[in-house]
Structure 1
Amino acid sequence: MKRSAVLACLTLTVVACAGQTPAAQPDRTGLEPAQATPSAPVSPSPSPSPTRTGPPEFTAKVTKIARDRLPYSWRPGCPVGYQDLRLVTMTYWGFDNRAHTGELVVRDTVADDITTAFKKLYDMRFPIKQMRLVDVYKGDDFDSIEADNTSAFNCRPATGSSSWSKHAYGQAVDINPRENPYVTAGGGTAHQNAKQFTKRPMKGKGVINPGDKVVRAFSSVGWEWGGYWSGTKDYQHFSKGGG
Protein backbone atom coordinates (compact mmCIF):
# COMPACT_ATOMS: atom_id res chain seq x y z
CA MET A 1 0.00 0.00 0.00
CA LYS A 2 1.27 3.43 -0.90
CA ARG A 3 2.12 5.89 1.90
CA SER A 4 -0.69 8.27 0.90
CA ALA A 5 -3.25 5.46 1.18
CA VAL A 6 -2.02 4.56 4.67
CA LEU A 7 -2.44 8.16 5.87
CA ALA A 8 -5.92 8.32 4.43
CA CYS A 9 -6.83 5.10 6.22
CA LEU A 10 -5.62 6.40 9.58
CA THR A 11 -7.78 9.55 9.34
CA LEU A 12 -11.01 7.67 8.65
CA THR A 13 -13.22 6.88 11.66
CA VAL A 14 -16.37 5.54 10.07
CA VAL A 15 -15.52 4.56 6.48
CA ALA A 16 -14.05 1.07 6.01
CA CYS A 17 -10.34 0.95 5.23
CA ALA A 18 -8.97 -1.42 2.59
CA GLY A 19 -12.42 -2.89 1.99
CA GLN A 20 -13.12 -3.76 5.70
CA THR A 21 -16.57 -3.04 7.23
CA PRO A 22 -16.47 -1.21 10.62
CA ALA A 23 -17.63 -3.30 13.62
CA ALA A 24 -21.27 -2.82 14.62
CA GLN A 25 -21.79 -0.71 17.76
CA PRO A 26 -23.48 -2.58 20.61
CA ASP A 27 -27.04 -1.59 21.71
CA ARG A 28 -26.60 0.34 24.97
CA THR A 29 -29.74 -1.27 26.46
CA GLY A 30 -28.40 -4.74 25.91
CA LEU A 31 -31.73 -5.64 24.34
CA GLU A 32 -33.09 -5.50 20.84
CA PRO A 33 -35.98 -2.98 20.55
CA ALA A 34 -38.49 -5.81 20.22
CA GLN A 35 -37.23 -7.23 23.49
CA ALA A 36 -37.97 -4.13 25.62
CA THR A 37 -39.91 -4.91 28.83
CA PRO A 38 -43.53 -3.73 28.44
CA SER A 39 -45.03 -1.40 31.04
CA ALA A 40 -47.06 -3.13 33.79
CA PRO A 41 -50.84 -2.70 33.27
CA VAL A 42 -52.40 -0.04 35.51
CA SER A 43 -55.42 -1.19 37.52
CA PRO A 44 -58.37 1.20 37.30
CA SER A 45 -59.08 3.16 40.49
CA PRO A 46 -62.07 1.80 42.41
CA SER A 47 -65.23 3.84 42.16
CA PRO A 48 -65.86 5.89 45.33
CA SER A 49 -68.60 4.61 47.61
CA PRO A 50 -71.79 6.66 47.29
CA THR A 51 -72.25 9.21 50.06
CA ARG A 52 -75.56 8.99 51.90
CA THR A 53 -77.60 12.15 51.66
CA GLY A 54 -80.83 13.17 53.29
CA PRO A 55 -82.26 12.41 56.73
CA PRO A 56 -81.80 9.01 58.42
CA GLU A 57 -84.39 6.27 58.22
CA PHE A 58 -86.96 5.97 60.99
CA THR A 59 -85.93 3.64 63.80
CA ALA A 60 -87.80 2.52 66.91
CA LYS A 61 -86.70 0.40 69.86
CA VAL A 62 -89.15 -0.98 72.43
CA THR A 63 -87.70 -2.00 75.79
CA LYS A 64 -88.82 -2.59 79.36
CA ILE A 65 -88.51 0.45 81.59
CA ALA A 66 -86.96 0.55 85.03
CA ARG A 67 -88.97 1.85 87.96
CA ASP A 68 -86.45 4.65 88.57
CA ARG A 69 -87.20 6.16 85.14
CA LEU A 70 -90.76 6.87 86.38
CA PRO A 71 -90.22 8.64 89.72
CA TYR A 72 -93.21 10.97 89.27
CA SER A 73 -95.49 9.47 86.61
CA TRP A 74 -96.03 6.07 88.27
CA ARG A 75 -96.88 5.05 91.83
CA PRO A 76 -98.49 2.08 93.58
CA GLY A 77 -102.21 2.05 92.96
CA CYS A 78 -102.00 3.11 89.30
CA PRO A 79 -104.31 1.12 87.01
CA VAL A 80 -101.31 -0.46 85.22
CA GLY A 81 -98.12 -1.84 86.73
CA TYR A 82 -94.84 -0.34 85.59
CA GLN A 83 -93.78 -3.87 84.56
CA ASP A 84 -96.45 -3.66 81.85
CA LEU A 85 -95.13 -0.38 80.48
CA ARG A 86 -92.62 -0.06 77.67
CA LEU A 87 -90.12 2.62 76.73
CA VAL A 88 -90.28 3.47 73.04
CA THR A 89 -87.13 5.20 71.79
CA MET A 90 -87.69 6.44 68.24
CA THR A 91 -86.93 8.96 65.54
CA TYR A 92 -89.10 12.03 65.06
CA TRP A 93 -88.98 15.02 62.71
CA GLY A 94 -88.33 18.27 64.56
CA PHE A 95 -89.51 21.84 64.12
CA ASP A 96 -85.95 22.60 62.94
CA ASN A 97 -86.43 20.26 59.94
CA ARG A 98 -83.99 17.74 61.33
CA ALA A 99 -84.28 14.21 62.69
CA HIS A 100 -84.19 13.72 66.46
CA THR A 101 -84.53 10.83 68.90
CA GLY A 102 -87.30 10.95 71.49
CA GLU A 103 -88.85 8.77 74.18
CA LEU A 104 -92.42 7.79 75.02
CA VAL A 105 -93.77 5.39 77.63
CA VAL A 106 -96.84 3.33 76.70
CA ARG A 107 -98.46 0.07 77.68
CA ASP A 108 -96.86 -3.01 76.17
CA THR A 109 -100.07 -3.91 74.31
CA VAL A 110 -99.98 -0.69 72.23
CA ALA A 111 -96.24 -0.30 71.60
CA ASP A 112 -96.58 -1.60 68.04
CA ASP A 113 -99.44 0.83 67.37
CA ILE A 114 -97.28 3.73 68.50
CA THR A 115 -94.26 2.80 66.39
CA THR A 116 -96.47 2.25 63.33
CA ALA A 117 -98.25 5.61 63.67
CA PHE A 118 -95.12 7.62 64.45
CA LYS A 119 -93.26 6.08 61.52
CA LYS A 120 -96.00 7.44 59.28
CA LEU A 121 -95.65 10.86 60.90
CA TYR A 122 -91.89 10.77 60.35
CA ASP A 123 -92.23 9.65 56.73
CA MET A 124 -94.60 12.57 56.02
CA ARG A 125 -92.17 14.91 57.86
CA PHE A 126 -94.83 16.01 60.33
CA PRO A 127 -92.91 18.20 62.81
CA ILE A 128 -92.86 17.51 66.54
CA LYS A 129 -91.45 20.07 68.96
CA GLN A 130 -89.96 17.62 71.42
CA MET A 131 -90.61 14.15 72.85
CA ARG A 132 -89.59 13.57 76.47
CA LEU A 133 -90.96 11.61 79.41
CA VAL A 134 -93.37 13.61 81.54
CA ASP A 135 -91.09 12.81 84.49
CA VAL A 136 -88.73 15.49 83.14
CA TYR A 137 -91.47 17.87 84.37
CA LYS A 138 -91.97 15.94 87.63
CA GLY A 139 -95.13 14.39 86.23
CA ASP A 140 -96.81 17.82 85.97
CA ASP A 141 -99.07 17.70 82.92
CA PHE A 142 -99.49 21.48 82.87
CA ASP A 143 -95.75 22.11 82.76
CA SER A 144 -95.24 19.48 80.07
CA ILE A 145 -97.91 21.16 77.94
CA GLU A 146 -96.39 24.60 78.52
CA ALA A 147 -93.10 23.22 77.17
CA ASP A 148 -94.92 21.89 74.08
CA ASN A 149 -93.80 18.39 74.97
CA THR A 150 -95.20 15.31 73.26
CA SER A 151 -95.73 12.61 75.91
CA ALA A 152 -97.80 9.53 76.68
CA PHE A 153 -98.01 7.65 80.01
CA ASN A 154 -98.85 9.62 83.13
CA CYS A 155 -100.78 8.16 86.05
CA ARG A 156 -103.34 10.92 86.51
CA PRO A 157 -107.10 11.46 86.31
CA ALA A 158 -108.72 12.77 83.17
CA THR A 159 -108.98 16.55 82.98
CA GLY A 160 -111.96 17.73 85.02
CA SER A 161 -112.75 14.20 86.21
CA SER A 162 -112.02 11.84 89.09
CA SER A 163 -111.72 8.87 86.73
CA TRP A 164 -108.40 7.66 85.38
CA SER A 165 -107.25 9.18 82.13
CA LYS A 166 -106.26 6.89 79.27
CA HIS A 167 -102.77 8.26 79.93
CA ALA A 168 -102.83 6.42 83.26
CA TYR A 169 -103.25 3.17 81.33
CA GLY A 170 -100.45 4.01 78.91
CA GLN A 171 -102.94 4.07 76.04
CA ALA A 172 -102.90 7.76 75.09
CA VAL A 173 -100.46 10.27 73.63
CA ASP A 174 -100.53 14.08 73.43
CA ILE A 175 -98.81 15.57 70.37
CA ASN A 176 -97.59 19.18 70.18
CA PRO A 177 -99.96 20.35 72.97
CA ARG A 178 -99.26 24.04 72.34
CA GLU A 179 -100.28 23.89 68.67
CA ASN A 180 -103.09 21.44 69.52
CA PRO A 181 -104.57 22.60 72.83
CA TYR A 182 -107.31 21.31 75.06
CA VAL A 183 -110.20 23.69 74.30
CA THR A 184 -113.33 24.02 76.43
CA ALA A 185 -116.82 24.15 74.96
CA GLY A 186 -116.65 27.93 75.28
CA GLY A 187 -113.50 28.10 73.16
CA GLY A 188 -111.01 28.80 75.96
CA THR A 189 -107.73 27.16 76.91
CA ALA A 190 -105.71 27.19 80.13
CA HIS A 191 -102.45 27.92 78.32
CA GLN A 192 -101.72 31.45 77.21
CA ASN A 193 -99.14 30.32 74.66
CA ALA A 194 -101.82 28.20 72.94
CA LYS A 195 -104.62 30.75 72.55
CA GLN A 196 -103.82 31.40 68.89
CA PHE A 197 -104.36 27.71 68.11
CA THR A 198 -107.87 27.13 69.47
CA LYS A 199 -109.70 27.17 66.12
CA ARG A 200 -109.96 24.38 63.56
CA PRO A 201 -109.24 23.98 60.74
CA MET A 202 -106.13 26.16 60.68
CA LYS A 203 -102.70 26.19 59.10
CA GLY A 204 -99.50 26.04 61.11
CA LYS A 205 -96.42 23.97 61.80
CA GLY A 206 -97.27 20.95 63.92
CA VAL A 207 -101.03 21.62 63.81
CA ILE A 208 -103.46 18.69 63.59
CA ASN A 209 -106.68 19.16 61.63
CA PRO A 210 -109.81 17.05 61.16
CA GLY A 211 -109.25 14.26 58.65
CA ASP A 212 -105.61 15.11 57.98
CA LYS A 213 -102.71 12.66 57.60
CA VAL A 214 -101.96 12.62 61.32
CA VAL A 215 -105.53 11.71 62.23
CA ARG A 216 -105.56 9.05 59.52
CA ALA A 217 -102.21 7.61 60.70
CA PHE A 218 -103.62 6.98 64.17
CA SER A 219 -107.00 5.88 62.87
CA SER A 220 -105.21 3.18 60.85
CA VAL A 221 -104.11 1.52 64.12
CA GLY A 222 -107.47 1.99 65.86
CA TRP A 223 -106.73 5.18 67.83
CA GLU A 224 -109.28 8.00 68.23
CA TRP A 225 -108.65 11.74 68.11
CA GLY A 226 -109.79 14.13 70.84
CA GLY A 227 -110.54 16.74 68.19
CA TYR A 228 -113.68 14.79 67.34
CA TRP A 229 -115.13 14.99 70.84
CA SER A 230 -118.40 16.87 71.20
CA GLY A 231 -118.25 20.07 73.26
CA THR A 232 -114.71 20.06 74.67
CA LYS A 233 -111.97 19.43 72.09
CA ASP A 234 -108.58 17.93 72.87
CA TYR A 235 -106.66 18.47 69.63
CA GLN A 236 -103.39 17.07 71.00
CA HIS A 237 -104.90 13.81 72.22
CA PHE A 238 -104.99 10.34 70.64
CA SER A 239 -106.07 7.27 72.59
CA LYS A 240 -106.82 3.61 72.19
CA GLY A 241 -110.50 3.02 72.79
CA GLY A 242 -111.34 6.72 73.27
CA GLY A 243 -111.32 8.84 76.40
Structure 2
Amino acid sequence: MPTFSRCLRLRIHALLLSVSGAMLFWSPAAHGRVLDVDAPLCQTLRQNGVLRASAPVRCEQLRVVRFSYVDFDGKTHDDGEVTVLAAVADHVSALFSTLRERGFALAGARGMQHFRGDDAASMRANNTSAFNDRAIVSGSAPSLHAYGLAIDINPVQNPFVEIGKDGKAQISPAEGRLYLNRQKERPGKPARKGMAEEVVEVFATHGFTVWGGDWDAPIDYQHFQVSRSLARKLAALPPEQAKTVFEHHVKTYRQCRANKSRSACID
Protein backbone atom coordinates (compact mmCIF):
# COMPACT_ATOMS: atom_id res chain seq x y z
CA MET A 1 0.00 0.00 0.00
CA PRO A 2 1.50 3.41 -1.01
CA THR A 3 2.74 5.55 1.81
CA PHE A 4 1.15 8.99 2.43
CA SER A 5 4.27 10.80 1.14
CA ARG A 6 4.31 8.75 -2.05
CA CYS A 7 0.61 9.46 -2.65
CA LEU A 8 1.29 13.15 -2.13
CA ARG A 9 4.16 13.09 -4.61
CA LEU A 10 1.99 11.32 -7.18
CA ARG A 11 -0.79 13.89 -6.77
CA ILE A 12 1.67 16.78 -7.10
CA HIS A 13 3.19 15.16 -10.19
CA ALA A 14 -0.26 14.76 -11.75
CA LEU A 15 -1.09 18.37 -10.97
CA LEU A 16 2.12 19.58 -12.58
CA LEU A 17 1.40 17.52 -15.68
CA SER A 18 -2.09 18.98 -15.98
CA VAL A 19 -0.78 22.52 -15.55
CA SER A 20 2.00 22.05 -18.10
CA GLY A 21 -0.50 20.48 -20.48
CA ALA A 22 -2.78 23.48 -20.12
CA MET A 23 0.15 25.84 -20.70
CA LEU A 24 1.07 23.90 -23.84
CA PHE A 25 -2.49 24.07 -25.13
CA TRP A 26 -2.85 27.80 -24.57
CA SER A 27 0.60 28.95 -25.64
CA PRO A 28 0.70 30.95 -28.90
CA ALA A 29 3.12 28.51 -30.54
CA ALA A 30 0.95 25.48 -29.77
CA HIS A 31 -2.15 27.38 -30.80
CA GLY A 32 -0.68 27.67 -34.31
CA ARG A 33 -0.58 31.42 -34.81
CA VAL A 34 2.23 31.19 -37.36
CA LEU A 35 2.42 27.99 -39.39
CA ASP A 36 4.65 26.65 -42.13
CA VAL A 37 3.16 26.13 -45.57
CA ASP A 38 3.42 22.34 -45.60
CA ALA A 39 3.29 20.08 -48.65
CA PRO A 40 -0.53 19.58 -48.68
CA LEU A 41 -1.19 23.32 -48.40
CA CYS A 42 1.45 24.06 -51.02
CA GLN A 43 -0.32 21.66 -53.37
CA THR A 44 -3.66 23.32 -52.60
CA LEU A 45 -2.23 26.73 -53.43
CA ARG A 46 -0.95 25.41 -56.75
CA GLN A 47 -4.18 23.62 -57.64
CA ASN A 48 -6.24 26.71 -56.90
CA GLY A 49 -4.16 29.12 -58.95
CA VAL A 50 -2.69 31.00 -55.98
CA LEU A 51 0.88 29.83 -56.62
CA ARG A 52 2.27 29.37 -60.11
CA ALA A 53 5.57 27.87 -61.24
CA SER A 54 6.87 31.35 -62.11
CA ALA A 55 6.12 32.82 -58.66
CA PRO A 56 8.90 34.99 -57.16
CA VAL A 57 8.77 32.98 -53.89
CA ARG A 58 8.47 29.31 -52.97
CA CYS A 59 6.28 27.54 -50.42
CA GLU A 60 9.13 27.19 -47.92
CA GLN A 61 9.45 30.97 -47.89
CA LEU A 62 5.81 31.47 -46.89
CA ARG A 63 3.97 31.26 -43.58
CA VAL A 64 0.28 31.18 -42.63
CA VAL A 65 -0.68 33.68 -39.93
CA ARG A 66 -3.85 32.84 -38.04
CA PHE A 67 -5.47 35.46 -35.85
CA SER A 68 -8.60 36.64 -34.09
CA TYR A 69 -10.53 39.69 -35.25
CA VAL A 70 -13.62 41.70 -34.43
CA ASP A 71 -16.37 41.89 -37.05
CA PHE A 72 -18.70 44.79 -37.85
CA ASP A 73 -21.20 43.60 -35.25
CA GLY A 74 -18.55 43.56 -32.52
CA LYS A 75 -18.29 39.75 -32.42
CA THR A 76 -14.86 38.14 -32.09
CA HIS A 77 -13.83 35.44 -34.58
CA ASP A 78 -10.86 33.07 -34.37
CA ASP A 79 -10.73 32.07 -38.05
CA GLY A 80 -8.69 34.92 -39.51
CA GLU A 81 -5.94 33.73 -41.85
CA VAL A 82 -3.46 35.29 -44.27
CA THR A 83 -0.41 33.86 -46.01
CA VAL A 84 2.70 36.06 -46.09
CA LEU A 85 6.45 35.88 -46.58
CA ALA A 86 8.08 34.16 -43.59
CA ALA A 87 10.29 37.19 -42.92
CA VAL A 88 7.28 39.34 -42.01
CA ALA A 89 5.03 36.75 -40.34
CA ASP A 90 5.73 37.77 -36.73
CA HIS A 91 5.01 41.41 -37.49
CA VAL A 92 1.83 40.51 -39.37
CA SER A 93 0.69 38.48 -36.36
CA ALA A 94 1.39 41.44 -34.06
CA LEU A 95 -0.31 43.80 -36.49
CA PHE A 96 -3.58 41.89 -36.49
CA SER A 97 -3.42 41.53 -32.70
CA THR A 98 -3.24 45.33 -32.52
CA LEU A 99 -6.25 45.68 -34.83
CA ARG A 100 -8.25 43.33 -32.61
CA GLU A 101 -7.22 45.16 -29.45
CA ARG A 102 -8.30 48.46 -31.00
CA GLY A 103 -11.63 46.99 -32.05
CA PHE A 104 -10.90 47.69 -35.72
CA ALA A 105 -13.56 45.78 -37.65
CA LEU A 106 -12.75 43.22 -40.34
CA ALA A 107 -15.46 41.57 -42.43
CA GLY A 108 -13.42 38.36 -42.75
CA ALA A 109 -10.01 36.98 -43.69
CA ARG A 110 -9.61 33.77 -45.67
CA GLY A 111 -6.69 32.48 -47.74
CA MET A 112 -6.92 33.14 -51.47
CA GLN A 113 -7.20 29.42 -52.17
CA HIS A 114 -10.84 29.76 -51.06
CA PHE A 115 -11.35 32.12 -54.02
CA ARG A 116 -9.20 30.15 -56.48
CA GLY A 117 -6.86 33.13 -56.71
CA ASP A 118 -9.66 35.35 -58.05
CA ASP A 119 -8.96 38.81 -56.63
CA ALA A 120 -12.29 40.23 -57.83
CA ALA A 121 -14.20 37.47 -56.03
CA SER A 122 -12.21 38.09 -52.85
CA MET A 123 -13.00 41.81 -53.02
CA ARG A 124 -16.70 41.19 -53.59
CA ALA A 125 -16.67 39.04 -50.45
CA ASN A 126 -15.03 41.93 -48.56
CA ASN A 127 -12.20 39.57 -47.74
CA THR A 128 -8.95 40.67 -46.10
CA SER A 129 -6.13 38.85 -47.91
CA ALA A 130 -2.40 38.73 -48.60
CA PHE A 131 -0.44 36.23 -50.73
CA ASN A 132 -1.71 35.69 -54.27
CA ASP A 133 0.66 35.06 -57.16
CA ARG A 134 -0.77 37.49 -59.70
CA ALA A 135 0.32 40.47 -61.78
CA ILE A 136 -0.41 44.10 -60.97
CA VAL A 137 -3.71 45.47 -62.29
CA SER A 138 -3.39 46.51 -65.96
CA GLY A 139 0.20 45.29 -66.12
CA SER A 140 2.50 42.27 -66.29
CA ALA A 141 4.88 42.87 -63.36
CA PRO A 142 4.28 40.71 -60.28
CA SER A 143 2.04 42.32 -57.70
CA LEU A 144 3.53 42.68 -54.23
CA HIS A 145 0.89 40.10 -53.27
CA ALA A 146 2.92 37.61 -55.32
CA TYR A 147 5.77 38.09 -52.81
CA GLY A 148 3.51 37.71 -49.78
CA LEU A 149 4.40 41.31 -48.96
CA ALA A 150 1.07 43.08 -49.47
CA ILE A 151 -2.14 42.98 -47.43
CA ASP A 152 -5.59 44.16 -48.55
CA ILE A 153 -8.13 44.98 -45.82
CA ASN A 154 -11.91 45.37 -46.10
CA PRO A 155 -12.12 45.99 -49.89
CA VAL A 156 -15.71 47.28 -49.68
CA GLN A 157 -14.85 49.97 -47.14
CA ASN A 158 -11.53 50.59 -48.94
CA PRO A 159 -12.09 50.19 -52.68
CA PHE A 160 -9.69 50.17 -55.61
CA VAL A 161 -10.27 53.24 -57.82
CA GLU A 162 -8.98 53.50 -61.37
CA ILE A 163 -9.78 56.15 -63.97
CA GLY A 164 -10.88 54.55 -67.23
CA LYS A 165 -10.14 55.76 -70.75
CA ASP A 166 -13.50 57.50 -70.72
CA GLY A 167 -12.38 59.56 -67.73
CA LYS A 168 -14.82 57.89 -65.38
CA ALA A 169 -13.84 56.26 -62.10
CA GLN A 170 -13.96 52.47 -62.11
CA ILE A 171 -14.51 51.22 -58.57
CA SER A 172 -13.79 47.70 -57.33
CA PRO A 173 -15.74 46.27 -55.70
CA ALA A 174 -18.78 48.23 -56.87
CA GLU A 175 -20.17 48.43 -53.32
CA GLY A 176 -17.14 50.50 -52.41
CA ARG A 177 -18.76 53.49 -54.10
CA LEU A 178 -20.62 54.10 -50.84
CA TYR A 179 -17.30 54.85 -49.15
CA LEU A 180 -16.10 57.46 -51.64
CA ASN A 181 -17.01 61.12 -51.87
CA ARG A 182 -14.91 62.05 -54.87
CA GLN A 183 -12.59 60.39 -57.34
CA LYS A 184 -9.24 60.99 -55.70
CA GLU A 185 -9.56 61.49 -51.97
CA ARG A 186 -11.83 60.91 -49.02
CA PRO A 187 -11.42 64.07 -46.88
CA GLY A 188 -14.77 65.11 -45.52
CA LYS A 189 -16.21 61.62 -45.75
CA PRO A 190 -17.44 60.59 -42.30
CA ALA A 191 -15.15 58.02 -40.71
CA ARG A 192 -16.83 54.63 -40.54
CA LYS A 193 -15.89 51.21 -39.29
CA GLY A 194 -13.25 49.39 -41.27
CA MET A 195 -11.85 52.35 -43.20
CA ALA A 196 -8.08 52.04 -43.67
CA GLU A 197 -7.16 55.61 -42.70
CA GLU A 198 -7.56 54.62 -39.06
CA VAL A 199 -4.77 52.03 -39.20
CA VAL A 200 -2.24 53.35 -41.73
CA GLU A 201 0.30 53.97 -38.99
CA VAL A 202 -0.28 50.52 -37.46
CA PHE A 203 0.71 48.90 -40.76
CA ALA A 204 3.66 51.24 -41.22
CA THR A 205 4.96 50.56 -37.71
CA HIS A 206 5.09 46.87 -38.62
CA GLY A 207 6.96 47.46 -41.86
CA PHE A 208 4.14 47.91 -44.39
CA THR A 209 5.05 51.52 -45.05
CA VAL A 210 3.44 51.91 -48.48
CA TRP A 211 -0.32 52.60 -48.53
CA GLY A 212 -2.25 52.55 -51.79
CA GLY A 213 -4.47 55.35 -50.51
CA ASP A 214 -1.51 57.72 -51.03
CA TRP A 215 -1.25 56.89 -54.72
CA ASP A 216 -2.51 59.17 -57.50
CA ALA A 217 -3.44 56.58 -60.11
CA PRO A 218 -4.76 54.08 -59.36
CA ILE A 219 -5.86 54.67 -55.76
CA ASP A 220 -5.99 51.50 -53.69
CA TYR A 221 -7.38 52.26 -50.24
CA GLN A 222 -7.36 48.62 -49.13
CA HIS A 223 -3.71 47.98 -50.01
CA PHE A 224 -0.60 47.99 -47.80
CA GLN A 225 2.83 46.79 -48.94
CA VAL A 226 6.60 47.18 -48.65
CA SER A 227 8.62 48.81 -51.41
CA ARG A 228 9.31 46.74 -54.51
CA SER A 229 13.07 47.00 -53.99
CA LEU A 230 12.75 45.60 -50.48
CA ALA A 231 10.46 42.84 -51.72
CA ARG A 232 13.01 41.70 -54.27
CA LYS A 233 15.76 41.71 -51.66
CA LEU A 234 13.72 39.69 -49.15
CA ALA A 235 12.60 37.16 -51.77
CA ALA A 236 16.23 36.49 -52.77
CA LEU A 237 17.33 35.63 -49.22
CA PRO A 238 16.85 32.53 -47.03
CA PRO A 239 13.99 33.09 -44.53
CA GLU A 240 16.18 33.83 -41.48
CA GLN A 241 18.36 36.31 -43.33
CA ALA A 242 15.29 37.92 -44.85
CA LYS A 243 13.79 38.28 -41.38
CA THR A 244 16.91 40.09 -40.16
CA VAL A 245 16.74 42.51 -43.08
CA PHE A 246 13.03 43.15 -42.47
CA GLU A 247 13.61 43.76 -38.76
CA HIS A 248 16.20 46.38 -39.69
CA HIS A 249 13.65 47.98 -42.04
CA VAL A 250 11.06 48.15 -39.24
CA LYS A 251 13.57 49.56 -36.75
CA THR A 252 14.72 52.21 -39.23
CA TYR A 253 11.16 53.35 -39.88
CA ARG A 254 10.30 53.55 -36.18
CA GLN A 255 13.41 55.57 -35.41
CA CYS A 256 12.63 57.94 -38.27
CA ARG A 257 9.02 58.41 -37.13
CA ALA A 258 10.22 59.62 -33.75
CA ASN A 259 11.24 62.86 -35.44
CA LYS A 260 9.64 63.01 -38.90
CA SER A 261 6.35 62.53 -40.73
CA ARG A 262 5.32 59.14 -42.13
CA SER A 263 5.84 60.29 -45.72
CA ALA A 264 9.41 61.36 -44.90
CA CYS A 265 10.20 57.89 -43.52
CA ILE A 266 9.01 55.79 -46.47
CA ASP A 267 11.74 54.13 -48.54
Provide TM-score, normalisation by structure 2: 0.64
Decide whether the 8 Å contact of 2:133 with 2:147 is kept in 1: yes
Alpha-carbon distance change, 220 to 60 in structure 1, aligned in 2, over 3 angstroms: farther
Aligned-residue Cα RMSD (Å) equals 1.9
Structure 1 position 84 matched with structure 2 position 72: no
**Of 225, 231, 237, which aligns to 1:239?**
225
Instruction: Quote the Cα distance in structure 2 between the aligned partners of 1:191 and 1:218.
Output: 22
**Of 230, 238, 241, which aligns to 2:216?**
230
SS class of match (1:122): helix
* Structure of greater Rg: 1
SS class of match (2:64): strand
Equivalent AA in structure 2 for residue 88 of structure 1: V
SS class of match (2:120): helix
**Of 162, 167, 175, which aligns to 1:184?**
162
Instruction: Quote the Cα distance in structure 2 between the aligned partners of 1:124 and 1:232.
Output: 29
Equivalent AA in structure 1 for residue 216 of structure 2: S
1:139 maps to what in 2?
Answer: 117
Decide whether the 8 Å contact of 2:66 with 2:93 is kept in 1: no
Where is the helix percentage greater, Structure 1 or Structure 2? 2
Cα offset for 1:193? 1.5
**Of 191, 194, 200, which aligns to 1:206?**
194
Instruction: Quote the Cα distance in structure 2 between the aligned partners of 1:206 and 1:60.
Output: 26
Alpha-carbon distance change, 60 to 176 in structure 1, aligned in 2, over 3 angstroms: farther
1:193 maps to what in 2?
Answer: 175
Cα offset for 1:60? 6.9
Deviations 1:72-125 (A, max 9, x none): 211211110011110111111111211112110000011122112111111110
2:242 maps to what in 1?
Answer: none
Instruction: Quote the Cα distance in structure 2 between the aligned partners of 1:190 and 1:122.
Output: 26
Instruction: Quote the Cα distance in structure 1 between the aligned partners of 2:200 and 2:130.
Output: 17
Unmatched 5+ stretches in structure 1: 1-57
Instruction: Quote the Cα distance in structure 2 between the aligned partners of 1:226 and 1:140.
Output: 20
Instruction: Quote the Cα distance in structure 2 between the aligned partners of 1:89 and 1:231.
Output: 32
Unmatched 5+ stretches in structure 2: 1-27, 232-267
Aligned-residue sequence identity (percent) comes to 36
Count how many residue pairs are aligned between Structure 1 and Structure 2. 183
Decide whether the 8 Å contact of 1:188 with 1:195 is kept in 2: no
